[in-house]
A and B are shown apart, each in its own frame.
Chain A
Amino acid sequence: MNPRFSLVLLAMAGLVVAFAPLPVSFTAPQTRTFELDARQFAYSPSELHVSPGDTVTIRLVSTDVVHGIYIDGYDLSVTADPGQTATLTFVADKPGSFRFRCNVTCGAMHPFMIGKLTVGANDWLYRSIGFSILAILGLLSARPLITDY
């Protein structure tokens, strides 16, 4: 294949992978409440799944020292004193997968006290896998150029 043609093809495929809408299963927005236990240095449950549009309430319970939660991407946070419960309510209007992490220094492994909130599907992971496949295909189609070394 003409290398310039395959490059154009590759770029177009890349755009499709980046922006094509993925199938979503429409569910009516719900109200979801999670009881999130925080201890040194983990949340339980540590992975939350909600649907886009859901109204999410996180009731954070610190079981040992002061902990908090900060949600990447949503830029929301709340902290809870030992034995206390703090509540954070928001509408999950951004789809994707986000880390949430403790925002109060709570001991040695504090920087790694991390959980994961997934709103809908983790689209970006699938798109990234798509990019990986395209990158390999692109290289393989360019292989005739490389064997000339």
Chain B
Amino acid sequence: MELTRLPLLKSALKSRYPQLAVFIVMLVGYIFAILAGLIGTPVGSHNFSIVFVWIAWWAILILVAVPFFGRGWCAVCPIPLPGEWLQRGAVLAPPDKKPKWLNLRVPKMFRNIWLQNLSFLLLALFSSVLLTTPTITGIVLAAMLFAAIGLSMVFERRSFCRYLCPVGGFIGLYSQTAPAELRIKDKQVCAKCEGKPCYNGSDTGYGCPWDVFPGGLTKNTYCGLCMECIRTCPYDNIAINLRPFSADLAKPSAKMDEAFKAFIMLGSAMIYAGVLLGPWGALKDAAYNVGTGAWFIYAATFLGIIFVVLPGFFALALSLSPGPSPNGRGGGVRVFSSLSTSLIPLGLMFWVAFSVSFVLTNASYILAALSDPLGLGWNLFGTANAAWRPILTSMLAPAQTLALVGGLAWSAHTAQRSGHEANVSSIPVIVYCFIATLIMLWLLL
């Protein structure tokens, strides 16, 4: 179903003002979170930066935005804006064609998501400190803002979003499961279209900031839903559609960087479930005391699970698979990466099950932090003393089971399809997903 048929939505997207209004609110909130992190109370659960970033934003992102809107968050994300405005030399004005800064192309070797995999892991290894220490959260938020500005000055388009953002990598991966997409309506129209303004820009808007040619979109991963192509396409050939869940995974097309992203996210969810929500104090100590011997062991184990154990057993399972082995050079690699797309729904639902627990137990901090964002004893809305209280704890276990079992079925179904596509049995992948789900159930329940 085409959503852009709705005239109100269409004109709201074509105009730059509604988006700008959201941008400004987001940017103000973001800068406030940086300041709160740096100057507010060091007590995480009473600091706006921790409570609004890691509880409120995270809950909305992983429970709503990604599963239902894919890259929807990127459509309103404030991080790349200052850089983009500087790069364009304009906030709203139609583009003038002269590049204002270096405008280099990102070198070919970096045009993949390996750097995003690394930047995510870098944060993941320090996550216990990052999640709980306002100054660190403030510094990381500021660093992302400045990295985006710096890259915008050197490279063309949104190179930070495409190649470096630690969040953007997994949003892109999981956006393939969302029931919404931006696509062209008619390939013939694009074929005849002179100049491809959606990619090259025109006087109605900028060429795709995400360096994507909309006419070639087959998956959501790299389209940031910035809506520029809706403004630039002279033939009104861009649509936002509702579609079945995980439509992009029907014909998997994953490269190794994306395959490893799936393992990284799956592994991180399992490790966090054990370390953060488990009853084992020694693990928490190791994860929190960055730089100690225990932390190095924790970090090495973390990386070992993600880069060796999970992909290793996956490859092993595939190699034990009955039936003819994929022949031809790179056949095994191709099967590995295309079947790894089956882990995408599983990983997303692991994150949902993990986050739902964290969010329900800590949601009550949001009220208090709203009234006293810096932890300085303010009481703006009279809710500063709202007591901490987990909500809906009786719903928690059933909700987690629903997410995990649903994710397992969803992944097994995806495996059946991609196995069929790649002409190999899906049973080993299904068994792999089943075992991963058992571990996650045991960790969370």
A17, B129: Cα distance in complex, Å: 41
B44 near A: Cβ within 8 Å?
yes
Most chain-A CB neighbours within 10 Å: which of B133, B288, B362, B405? B405
B19 near A: Cβ within 8 Å?
no
A interface size (C-beta, 8 A): 43
- CB pairs A–B below 8 angstroms (16 shown): A42-B280, A72-B361, A75-B393, A97-B445, A103-B388, A108-B288, A110-B132, A111-B361, A112-B132, A112-B276, A112-B284, A116-B279, A124-B401, A132-B434, A132-B438, A136-B408
A101, B129: Cα distance in complex, Å: 19
A139, B416: Cα distance in complex, Å: 9
Q: Which residue of A lies closest to B401 (CB)?
A: A128
In the assembled complex, how far is the CB of residue B143 from the closest CB belonging to chain A, in whole angstroms? 20
B413: chain A residues within 8 A (beta carbon): 139, 146
A73 near B: Cβ within 8 Å?
yes
A129 near B: Cβ within 8 Å?
yes
Given contacts A132-B441, A136-B408, contact A46 B401 (CB under 8 A): no
In the assembled complex, how far is the CB of residue A82 from the closest CB belonging to chain B, in whole angstroms? 17
Within 8 A of B (CB), among A91-149: 96-97, 99, 101, 103, 105, 108-116, 122, 124-125, 127-129, 131-133, 135-136, 138-140, 143, 146-147, 149
Given contacts A129-B438, A135-B405, contact A149 B281 (CB under 8 A): no
B442: chain A residues within 8 A (beta carbon): 125
- Are B408 and A135 interface neighbours, CB within 8 A? yes
B46: chain A residues within 8 A (beta carbon): 105
- Are A138 and B397 interface neighbours, CB within 8 A? no
B196 near A: Cβ within 8 Å?
no
Q: Which residue of B lies closest to A72 (CB)?
A: B393
- Are A146 and B279 interface neighbours, CB within 8 A? no
Q: How many A-B residue pairs have CB under 8 A?
A: 116
- Are B438 and A109 interface neighbours, CB within 8 A? no
In the assembled complex, how far is the CB of residue B269 from the closest CB belonging to chain A, in whole angstroms? 15
A21, B330: Cα distance in complex, Å: 52
Which one of A109, A110, A136 lies within 8 Å of B430 (CB-CB)? A136
A105: chain B residues within 8 A (beta carbon): 43, 45-46, 388
- Are B390 and A70 interface neighbours, CB within 8 A? yes
- Are B420 and A147 interface neighbours, CB within 8 A? yes
- Are B277 and A112 interface neighbours, CB within 8 A? yes
Within 8 A of B (CB), among A74-90: 75
Within 8 A of A (CB), among B381-432: 388, 390, 393-394, 396-398, 401, 404-405, 408-409, 412-413, 416-417, 420, 430
In the assembled complex, how far is the CB of residue B168 from the closest CB belonging to chain A, in whole angstroms? 26
Which one of A47, A96, A108 lies within 8 Å of B279 (CB-CB)? A47
B361: chain A residues within 8 A (beta carbon): 72, 101, 111
A31 near B: Cβ within 8 Å?
no
- Are B285 and A42 interface neighbours, CB within 8 A? yes
